[in-house]
């Protein structure tokens, strides 16, 4: 059992030495590129850059432009304000919209006046505020001669509603999230605001809910007039931002040209059917080539042609651009990448196209995010912008792509960061995280475990991509067991090859990744230390989110087979770590968001009253995925310290951490004594 391996572990202070190559601060402040778009006249490509600042504890957006002919370097055109955050945490990707002459592009920006519509001109650098609405702009459409937008309740009305609820009390119904602060919960368009639940799972809204109103104006924002809902719909303006249904599989993709509408229909496992639906109603033209099978995640028509540019995704989130000549049925691979090759931020965001070039954000295990120009005829590539040059991101630590199969035939992929020689371990410890390993892998899903810094400190690190159990319906327990099998297999192979010490394994994760980490902790003896950032399912959760009108019980039944704890007690005992803490012997660190930590009180309380080494932290004003740079840095540093202590027996000599190590040493002694 791993439990006995903690006995007699020598704790030593690390001697002063040069800082490891990766800088935790630089990793937090890495620049992220997204929202790539080409002007209507194809003269300009613009993209959005997201910067984090630990000093200011905020993230800021900016818009950059470069000539598509490569005649000049990219330059900053406009401040993009603060991000508009998604419900889960990361910034909302948003493609700018252009006037028909290619002079102006329009975008939303959060400033002191909330989320307003702005426009900028790459030609002369002009930047103008277009709207000055009393409400936040929720969506917009740029036409040939006018613009239309949608707003909800005014900011003042929302503030007054919050104050009224504060004074009169909040009536509890299915819209109130018991685990989130009633007021000043998270950053919403520049202020800490109250939120209420909307629809399934954890979609959120303001205290007033949706109340869509539509407006129309000239392209410069003048002559504002109300717009009727049917007219707004006719312009293509959605009445609401509708989140995808749970467990519905990936959304279909479509793009239109005179030849027809490109349709990419994807099954739950992502396999695609690619075809062109012709306007005449004739039989669709299907892509029959083998390259069009599998995971096609994006597609666009090449302007002025009958050629479709597709993004194909191979295992390990390796993407390639394909061209499909619809008229002649020819398909070829234009260029490939060891990582993401698209519009940035998400795997399904497409590149932006001119008649001759594709502009793509490239991010792979060896390449921090950068913008490239790709010739659509030859596949030749040119770097347009590389904003992360000069940051210490651990690029000198060479990652290795891994692929393996377990005994049951389940295929896995991952990114391995070999431990750097430090004179301490011939067979180094291993840390691993399980979920998604996309692009320039820094800290796994949620970005909390500094894989490159761990490797630089002598702890080999592995990010494993999730592999699901083959089934017609979702079964989380089956998926946990598949994950455990894959983890057992790769740990064994790395250990047999002498690359890691199988007796010193750590694991961390967020969301589904945290569930897998705790499953491995309770269902195996692999782990010595664990760090998770998400509370786990336990019986209290069922009732915390069980008020009439709340729609969480159905997803719990579908995905986990969980119902009323009195009626499905055995299933709860199987799924919930809180009900099997006697089987948790690895040291457990929890670093949770304020929005979530209250839904898992039993696991926290039971571990805190046990001999199992345990420590928990909560970060204020944070959603599911943490967004504040100082919080990200603190999480990185504590995770690095945690795994160095429990896997290597080493301490940071920083005097400010004396109390931390005294607590952890006391935990170690208590655990050893209990055995």
Residues 6+ apart with CB under 8 A from 567: none
Q: Residue 3: is its pLDDT beyond 50?
A: no
Residues 6+ apart with CB under 8 A from 573: 579, 580
Per mean pLDDT, which range of 60-69, 151-160, 416-425, 530-539 is the poorest? 416-425
Contact between residue 636 and residue 442 where contact means Cβ atoms under 8 Å apart: no
Higher-scoring residue by pLDDT: 473, 154: 154
- Return the pLDDT at 4: 34
Structure tokens at 197: 């639940």
- Return the pLDDT at 242: 57
Contact between residue 182 and residue 175 where contact means Cβ atoms under 8 Å apart: no
- Left, alpha or beta for 594 (phi > 0: left; psi -120 to 50: alpha)? alpha
Q: What is the DSSP code string of 212-261?
A: -EEEEEETTS-S-EEE-HHHHHHTT--SS-PPPPTT--SPPEEEEETTEE
Query: Count of CB atoms within 10 A of residue 182's CB?
Result: 18
Selection from 122, 120, 112 nearest residue 45 by Cα? 122
Across the chain, what does the average pLDDT equal?
92
pLDDT class of 380 with cuts at 50, 70, 90: very high
Could you give the count of Cα atoms lying within 13 Å of 474 in the half-sphere of its Cβ? 17
The percent helix, strand, coil of the chain (3-state, each to 5) is 20, 35, 45
pLDDT class of 199 with cuts at 50, 70, 90: confident
Q: Residue 446: is its pLDDT beyond 80?
A: yes
Q: Residue 412: is its pLDDT beyond 90?
A: yes
How far apart CA 204 and CA 597 sit, in angstroms, is: 17
Angle between helices 476-496 and 512-523 in degrees, nearest 10: 70
pLDDT in tens, 273-296: 898 888 877 888 999 999 998 899
pTM: 0.93
Selection from 597, 599, 606 nearest residue 540 by Cα? 599
How far apart CA 156 and CA 304 sit, in angstroms, is: 47
What stretches of 394-442 adopt beta strand conformation (E)?
Answer: 400-405, 411-417, 430-435
Q: What is the DSSP code string of 147-181?
A: EEEEEEEEHHHHHHHHHHHHHH-PPPSTT--TTS-
- Return the pLDDT at 423: 63
Q: Which CATH superfamily is domain 2-16+397-538+576-674 in?
A: Alpha/Beta hydrolase fold, catalytic domain (3.40.50.1820)
Contact between residue 275 and residue 287 where contact means Cβ atoms under 8 Å apart: yes
- The pLDDT of 595-614, averaged and rounded, is 96
pLDDT class of 268 with cuts at 50, 70, 90: low
Contact between residue 306 and residue 336 where contact means Cβ atoms under 8 Å apart: no
Q: What percent of the chain has pLDDT over 90?
A: 83
Selection from 400, 341, 393, 336 nearest residue 370 by Cα? 341
For 360, phi then psi, to 5°, come to -130, 145
- Return the pLDDT at 14: 43
pLDDT class of 396 with cuts at 50, 70, 90: confident
pLDDT in tens, 222-254: 999 999 999 888 888 887 775 555 444 555 555
- Return the pLDDT at 246: 47
pLDDT class of 18 with cuts at 50, 70, 90: very low
């Amino acid at each position: 059992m791993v439990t006995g391996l903690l006995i007699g572990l020598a704790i030593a202070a690390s001697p002063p030495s040069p800082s490891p190559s990766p800088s935790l601060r630089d990793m937090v402040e890495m620049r992220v590129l997204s929202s790539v778009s080409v002007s209507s006249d194809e003269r300009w490509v613009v993209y959005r850059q997201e910067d984090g600042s630990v000093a200011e504890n905020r993230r800021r957006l900016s818009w950059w432009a470069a000539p598509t002919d490569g005649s000049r370097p990219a330059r900053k055109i406009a401040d993009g304000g603060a991000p508009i955050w998604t419900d889960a945490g990361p910034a909302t990707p948003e493609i700018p919209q252009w006037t028909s002459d290619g002079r102006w592009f329009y975008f939303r920006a959060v400033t002191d006046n909330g989320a307003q519509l702005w426009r900028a001109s790459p030609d002369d650098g002009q930047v103008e505020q277009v709207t000055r609405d009393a409400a936040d702009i929720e969506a917009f459409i740029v036409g040939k001669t006018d613009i239309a937008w949608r707003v909800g309740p005014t900011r003042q009305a929302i503030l007054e509603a919050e104050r009224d609820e504060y004074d009169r009390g909040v009536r509890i119904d299915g819209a109130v999230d018991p685990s989130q602060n009633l007021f000043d919960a998270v950053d919403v368009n520049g202020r800490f605001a109250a939120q209420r639940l909307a629809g399934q799972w954890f979609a959120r809204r303001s205290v007033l809910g949706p109340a869509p109103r539509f407006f129309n104006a000239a392209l410069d924002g003048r002559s504002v007039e109300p717009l009727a809902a049917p007219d707004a719909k006719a312009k293509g303006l959605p009445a609401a931002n509708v989140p995808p249904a749970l467990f519905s599989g990936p959304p279909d993709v479509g793009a239109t040209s005179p030849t027809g509408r490109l349709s990419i229909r994807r099954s739950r496992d992502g396999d695609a059917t690619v075809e062109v639906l012709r306007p005449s109603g004739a039989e669709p033209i299907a892509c029959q080539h083998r390259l069009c099978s599998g995971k096609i995640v994006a597609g666009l028509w090449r302007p002025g042609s009958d050629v479709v540019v597709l993004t194909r995704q191979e295992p390990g989130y390796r993407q390639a651009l394909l061209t499909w000549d619809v008229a002649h049925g020819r398909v070829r691979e234009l260029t490939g990448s060891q990582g993401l090759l698209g519009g940035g931020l998400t795997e399904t965001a497409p590149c932006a196209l001119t008649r001759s070039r594709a502009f793509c954000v490239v991010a792979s295990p060896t390449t921090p995010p950068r913008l490239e120009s790709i010739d659509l005829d030859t596949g030749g590539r040119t770097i347009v912008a590389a904003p992360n040059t000069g940051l210490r991101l651990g690029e000198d630590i060479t990652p290795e792509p891994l692929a393996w199969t377990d005994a049951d035939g389940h295929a896995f992929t991952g990114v391995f960061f070999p431990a750097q020689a430090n004179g301490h371990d011939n067979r180094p410890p291993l840390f691993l995280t399980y979920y998604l390993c996309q692009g320039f892998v820094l800290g796994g899903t949620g970005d909390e475990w500094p894989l490159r810094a761990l490797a630089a400190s002598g702890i080999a690190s592995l990010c494993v991509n999730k592999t699901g159990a083959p089934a017609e319906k979702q079964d989380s327990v089956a998926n946990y067991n598949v994950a455990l099998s894959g983890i057992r297999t790769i740990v064994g192979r790395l250990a047999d090859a002498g690359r890691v010490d199988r007796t010193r394994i750590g694991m961390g994760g967020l969301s589904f990744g945290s569930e897998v980490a705790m499953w491995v902790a309770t269902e195996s003896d692999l782990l010595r230390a664990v760090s998770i950032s998400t509370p786990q399912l336990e019986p209290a959760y069922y009732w915390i989110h069980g008020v009439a009108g709340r729609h969480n019980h159905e997803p719990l039944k579908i995905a986990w087979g969980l119902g009323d704890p009195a009626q499905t007690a055995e299933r709860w005992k199987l799924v919930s770590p809180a009900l099997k803490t006697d089987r948790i012997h690895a040291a457990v660190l929890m670093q949770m968001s304020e929005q979530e930590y209250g839904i898992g009180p039993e696991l926290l309380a039971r571990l805190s009253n046990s001999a199992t080494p345990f420590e928990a932290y909560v970060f204020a004003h944070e959603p599911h995925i943490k967004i504040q740079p100082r919080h990200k840095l603190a999480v990185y540093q504590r995770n690095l310290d945690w795994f160095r202590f429990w896997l290597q027996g080493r301490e940071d000599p920083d005097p400010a951490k004396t109390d931390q190590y005294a607590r952890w040493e006391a935990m170690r002694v208590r655990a050893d004594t209990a055995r």
